[in-house]
């Protein structure tokens, strides 16, 4: 039960932390009608006057009917002044009949008398008629304004809002999760055969998930044709908190002259939709827009008149075959608003007879499949165990799909064009420096300028050994391969090939490392073009191999009876550690984890029973450390020497001299509004909680790019792919969690807790870089968690590693092939 309780606490606590800001949201609600489509804007003064940071927006429908325009404001601030900027009206008038402040449940927190609204700018007429305000804007208005007078600062009772969130969501979710876990544990315990018990649990979870999913989700269906190729359609949905990059689903555009149906999954409780047909100039024809259930049964139909141009739309024409949309010539984000009426908002969760019948049919099919699976298992249990434990599943099949992965990596390296991968040109310039040099350059070396990016930084600033090694390998390959870019890509392909060779040599004891190599298509992508992260990941996996394989050179040395016996293992481990020290800094957390795990293995698991043996292990640790420092320290000292021991100061001056204006540190300090929006968010006043917890954009993009985003973060799979993958990953993690809770010893439990802490530290360091330096939510910065996970999973039983881990690897392989073949290789710009 402790595992169920801990799981319920973690899940409900995490949801409370991440949804805290949303659940405590408050809104200025303006009930209004307008004949013109536009955007309403609210400026709120929290003691710093009106500014562009403290602003909220919401779309206004131009259908001449009253709608609630909800403008989100922070719940934890005091408001001294409010200003409402209505959309400009070319004809007709705008009518406002109510203004108040409400919470997310619609409870009124503050009510404004309409007499407190005063025209301020570009308002032509402003009359009170039958208790409503009727006004219009100037003919050439571009910034109409209405002040909302506030006689005293407006504040909200945070404890009351928090109590409401706890009673309405957090506590009920915790109770439900705990009871569900207890029920599943009870059901699982009723069967002596763990496989049948697992089948029953999976059937119950599947039935419950389908019910939950069908009740809370709907499917936006749109038929569209366009000749634009290689783009994505995006659908933004507003759940009552405003449109944001967090609430969006996407699918790839079919670039031909035929109508195709696009199906995008959305929540049911939405108040507004915005459809972005593509991100460039072009033409599309849209017809048959609606919302259905999973089986295509209509829930809501839209007339084409309910669609209206919002941004960068040149022409919007109603034709017989549909709406013809032509975007502006230089469009980068064309947008179309889709009007949702109040009836759908209020009744989007109907419990119809069709819904009940569909659910019963689904449950019947799940039950039938369960019975059939149990029958097959009982009849062929020994054969299945023999197949899973046999040579083909354990040895031949992994070699086949690792070879397939290598082929796909090589294909990407050969066919993809130059400068289509993240920062590859900068990495190539850094490696090319070492083609005719043996020592790192000083910051004021004239050749350094050729290697910098628009940020004014160079990969040669760091002592990254990969550029030296790749530069020399590329020089060796110069007689065989003419293209320097391809030579450097082949260096990374070679690293992946070496990992495959090592795994193949120990294939029976390598299920964890096979899992590491097929965990994500992003790993394959990392080794398909030249970068600095592939080598660091390569070294990290080699270190994990040395610690996990019982017969590795390092373990042979650590288990030897003298300091000199098998000393090559200690030297090898020291070299690997030094290589990682002069590679990517985001792997330093992994090195700290390695230090802790090695210390745990040497002392706590040996029990301090023999001081002489412990003293011997300390000597071995000192020897490994000395080997690592003998490689690391000379390079560091030399690097500081050629920079007059003022390297950081020189880098700062160099960057400020050569960076583009918006990327300069001086711009951030003196004119932050002119600087790149993603730089120095901490300095600009963005809190870490807002970056990581309150907004999900960093978490979402990091997850997507961990499991397959290609090119310059602009090529990715459809939303359905990531949803299915996340469901599988959640189930896999849940399965491992409860298996570990049921089987591991207390010592191994402590190690798994250490693993969890360092996983959080790895995530934390990535968020800190995005917060304090540059906003870069890229999954490759989280790759240190993979070798950390391997060392944690190695604590599970050998039976689990040999039977379950290969099954997980095979399923993940299917996901990887789908993403890498049908999205990465298909859409990556090819070499000319």
Helix, strand, or coil (residue 153) = coil
What proportions of the chain, in percent to the nearest 5, are helix, strand and coil? 55, 20, 25
Q: Which residue has the tokens 């949801």?
A: 15
> Quick one: tokens of 233?
């359609």
Percentage of the chain exceeding pLDDT 70: 97
Residue 612's pLDDT is 63
Cβ–Cβ under 8 Å, residues 306 and 338: yes
pLDDT surpassing 70 at residue 479? yes
- Closest-CA residue to 234 (of 304, 300, 321, 310): 310
User: Quick one: which H or E segment has residue 168?
Assistant: none
Kindly report the backbone phi and psi dihedral angles of residue 17, in degrees, each rounded to the nearest multiple of 5, phi listed first: -65, -45
**CA 467 to CA 638: how far, in whole Å?**
17
Instruction: Give residue-wise pLDDT tens across range 178-227.
Output: 888 888 888 887 788 888 888 888 898 888 888 888 888 889 999 999 88
pLDDT surpassing 70 at residue 447? yes
Q: Cα separations (Å) of 256 from 91, 226, 259?
A: 39, 6, 8
Residue 508's pLDDT is 84
The per-residue DSSP string of 566-614 comes to THHHHHHHHHHHHHHHTS-GGGHHHHHHHHHHHHIIIIITTTT--HHHH
Cβ–Cβ under 8 Å, residues 548 and 555: no
715-716 and 55-60 beta bridge pairing: unpaired
In the CATH scheme, what architecture does the domain 220-346 have? Sandwich (2.60)
Residue 342's pLDDT is 66
Query: What would the 3-class secondary structure string for 339-360 be?
Result: CCCHHHHHCCCCCCHHHHHHHH
Given pLDDT bands bounded at 50, 70 and 90, which one contains residue 760?
very high
> Quick one: tokens of 651?
């880098």
Helix, strand, or coil (residue 211) = helix
**CA 420 to CA 817: how far, in whole Å?**
21
Q: Tell me the pTM.
A: 0.88
Cβ count near 613 (within 10 Å): 13
- Name the least confident of 390-399, 423-432, 600-609, 735-744: 600-609
Residue 611's pLDDT is 61
Angle at which helix 798-819 crosses helix 397-415, to 10 degrees, equals: 30
Instruction: Give residue-wise pLDDT tens across range 359-374.
Output: 888 889 999 999 999 9
Helix, strand, or coil (residue 530) = coil
pLDDT surpassing 70 at residue 706? yes
- Within 13 Å of residue 766, how many CA atoms lie on the same side as its CB? 23
Residue 307, C-beta contacts closer than 8 angstroms, at least 6 positions apart: 275, 286, 289, 323, 336, 337, 338, 339
Label residue 793 left, alpha or beta by phi (over 0 means left) and psi (-120 to 50 means alpha). Answer: alpha
**CA 617 to CA 612: how far, in whole Å?**
9
Handedness of CA 448, 454, 458, 462 (dihedral sign): positive
Cβ count near 429 (within 10 Å): 19
pLDDT surpassing 90 at residue 272? no
Instruction: Give residue-wise pLDDT tens across range 149-178.
Output: 888 888 888 787 788 778 877 888 888 888
Residue 176, C-beta contacts closer than 8 angstroms, at least 6 positions apart: none
Handedness of CA 123, 126, 132, 134 (dihedral sign): negative
Q: Which residue has the tokens 């990407």?
A: 412
Mean pLDDT of 311-327: 86
Residue 295's pLDDT is 81
431 against 246, higher pLDDT:
431
Residue 126, C-beta contacts closer than 8 angstroms, at least 6 positions apart: 119, 133, 134, 135
- Name the least confident of 231-245, 381-395, 401-415, 801-815: 231-245
The per-residue DSSP string of 42-82 comes to EEEESSS-S-SSSEEEEEE--SSS-EEEEEEE-TTS-BSEE
**CA 493 to CA 409: how far, in whole Å?**
7
- Closest-CA residue to 475 (of 465, 463, 484): 484
Cβ–Cβ under 8 Å, residues 784 and 586: yes
The three-point CA angle 826-828-832 to 5° equals 105
Residue 351's pLDDT is 63
Helix, strand, or coil (residue 139) = coil
Instruction: Give residue-wise pLDDT tens across range 571-620.
Output: 999 999 999 999 999 999 999 999 998 888 776 765 545 666 678 888 88
Residue 350's pLDDT is 60
Residue 327 bridge partners (DSSP): 313
Mean pLDDT of the chain: 88
Residue 296's pLDDT is 82
In the chain, domain spans: 27-159, 220-346, 393-659+696-827
Strands (E), 52-199: 55-60, 67-73, 81-85, 94-103, 108-112, 117-121, 123-129, 132-137, 145-148
- As a whole number of Å, the CA-based R_g of the chain is 30
Label residue 39 left, alpha or beta by phi (over 0 means left) and psi (-120 to 50 means alpha). Answer: beta
Residue 64's pLDDT is 79
**CA 514 to CA 508: how far, in whole Å?**
11
Q: How far does the chain reach from its first CA to its final CA, in angstroms?
A: 61
**CA 772 to CA 767: how far, in whole Å?**
9
67-73 and 117-121 beta bridge pairing: unpaired
Cβ count near 557 (within 10 Å): 23
Q: Which residues of 482-499 are buried (b: 16+ CB within 10 A; e: fewer)?
A: eebbbbbbbbbbebbbeb
**CA 566 to CA 552: how far, in whole Å?**
11
**CA 784 to CA 787: how far, in whole Å?**
6
């Amino acid at each position: 039960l402790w595992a169920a309780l801990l799981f319920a606490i973690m899940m409900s606590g995490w949801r409370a932390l991440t949804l805290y800001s949303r659940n405590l949201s408050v809104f200025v609600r303006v009930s209004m009608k307008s004949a013109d489509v536009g955007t309403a804007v609210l400026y709120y003064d929290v003691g710093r006057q009106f500014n562009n940071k403290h602003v909220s927006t919401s779309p206004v429908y131009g259908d001449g009917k009253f709608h609630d325009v909800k403008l989100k404001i922070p719940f934890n601030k005091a408001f001294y002044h409010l200003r409402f900027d209505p959309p400009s009206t070319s004809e007709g008038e705008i009518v406002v009949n109510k203004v108040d402040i409400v919470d997310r449940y619609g409870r009124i927190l503050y009510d404004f008398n309409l007499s407190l609204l005063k025209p301020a700018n570009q308002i032509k007429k402003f009359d009170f008629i039958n208790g409503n305000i009727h006004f219009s804007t100037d003919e050439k208005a571009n910034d109409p304004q209405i002040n909302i007078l506030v006689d005293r600062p407006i504040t909200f009772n945070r404890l009351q809002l928090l109590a409401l969130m706890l009673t309405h969501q957090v506590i009920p979710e915790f109770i439900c999760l705990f009871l569900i876990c207890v029920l599943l544990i009870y059901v699982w315990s009723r069967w002596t055969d763990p496989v049948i018990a697992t089948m029953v649990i999976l059937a119950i979870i599947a039935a419950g998930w389908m019910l939950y999913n069908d009740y809370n989700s709907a499917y936006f269906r749109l038929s569209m044709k366009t000749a634009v190729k290689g783009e994505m359609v995006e659908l933004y949905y507003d759940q009552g908190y405003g449109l944001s990059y967090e609430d969006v689903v996407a699918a790839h555009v079919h670039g031909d002259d035929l109508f195709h149906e696009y199906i995008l999954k959305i929540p049911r409780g939405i108040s507004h939709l915005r459809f972005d047909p593509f991100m460039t100039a072009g033409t599309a024809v849209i017809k048959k827009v609606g919302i259905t259930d999973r089986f295509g049964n209509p829930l809501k139909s839209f007339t084409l008149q309910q669609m209206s141009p919002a941004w960068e739309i040149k022409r919007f024409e109603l034709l017989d075959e549909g709406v013809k949309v032509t975007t502006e010539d230089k469009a980068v984000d064309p947008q179309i608003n889709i009007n949702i009426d109040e009836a759908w908002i209020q009744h989007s969760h109907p419990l119809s007879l069709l819904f009940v019948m569909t659910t019963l049919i689904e449950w019947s099919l799940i039950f039938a499949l369960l019975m059939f699976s149990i029958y097959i298992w009982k009849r062929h249990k020994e054969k299945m165990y023999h197949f899973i434990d046999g040579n083909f599943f354990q040895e031949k099949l992994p070699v086949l799909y690792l070879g397939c992965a290598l082929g796909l990596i090589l294909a990407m390296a050969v066919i993809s064009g130059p400068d289509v991968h993240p920062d590859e040109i900068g990495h190539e310039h850094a490696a090319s420096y070492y083609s005719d040099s043996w020592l790192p350059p000083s910051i004021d070396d004239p050749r350094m300028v050729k290697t910098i990016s628009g940020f004014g930084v160079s990969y040669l600033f760091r002592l990254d050994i990969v550029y030296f090694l790749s530069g020399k390998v590329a020089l060796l390959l110069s007689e065989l391969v003419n293209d320097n870019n391809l030579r450097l890509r082949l260096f990374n392909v070679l690293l992946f090939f070496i990992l495959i060779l090592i795994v193949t040599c120990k294939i029976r004891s390598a299920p964890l490392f096979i899992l590491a190599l097929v965990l994500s298509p992003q790993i394959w992508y990392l080794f398909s073009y030249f970068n600095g992260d592939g080598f660091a990941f390569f070294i990290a996996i080699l270190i994990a191999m040395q610690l996990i394989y019982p017969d590795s050179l390092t373990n042979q040395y650590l288990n030897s009876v003298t300091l000199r016996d098998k000393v090559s293992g200690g030297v090898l481990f020291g070299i690997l550690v030094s290589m990682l020290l002069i590679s990517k800094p985001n792997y330093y957390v992994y090195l700290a984890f390695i230090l802790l795990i090695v210390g745990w293995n040497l002392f706590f698991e040996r029990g301090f029973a023999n001081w002489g043996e412990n003293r011997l292990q300390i000597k071995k640790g000192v020897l490994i450390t000395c080997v690592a420092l003998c490689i690391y320290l000379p390079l560091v000292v030399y690097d500081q020497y050629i920079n007059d021991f003022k390297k950081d100061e020189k880098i700062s001056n160099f960057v400020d001299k050569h960076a583009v204006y918006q990327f300069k540190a001086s711009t951030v300090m003196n004119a932050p509004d002119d600087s790149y929006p993603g730089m120095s968010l901490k300095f600009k006043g963005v809190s870490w909680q807002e970056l990581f917890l309150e907004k999900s954009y960093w978490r979402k993009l990091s997850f997507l790019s961990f499991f397959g985003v290609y090119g310059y973060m602009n090529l990715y799979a459809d939303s359905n792919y990531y949803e299915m993958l996340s469901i599988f990953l959640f189930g896999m993690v849940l399965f491992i969690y409860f298996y570990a809770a049921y089987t591991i010893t207390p010592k191994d439990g402590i190690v798994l807790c250490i693993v969890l802490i360092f996983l959080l530290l790895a995530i934390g360091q990535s968020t800190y870089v995005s917060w304090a330096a540059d906003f870069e939510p890229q999954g490759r910065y989280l790759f240190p968690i993979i070798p950390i996970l391997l060392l944690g999973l190695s604590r599970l039983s050998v039976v689990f590693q040999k039977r379950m881990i290969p099954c997980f690897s095979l399923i993940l392989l299917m996901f990887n092939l789908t993403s890498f073949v049908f999205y990465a290789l298909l859409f990556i710009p090819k070499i000319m």
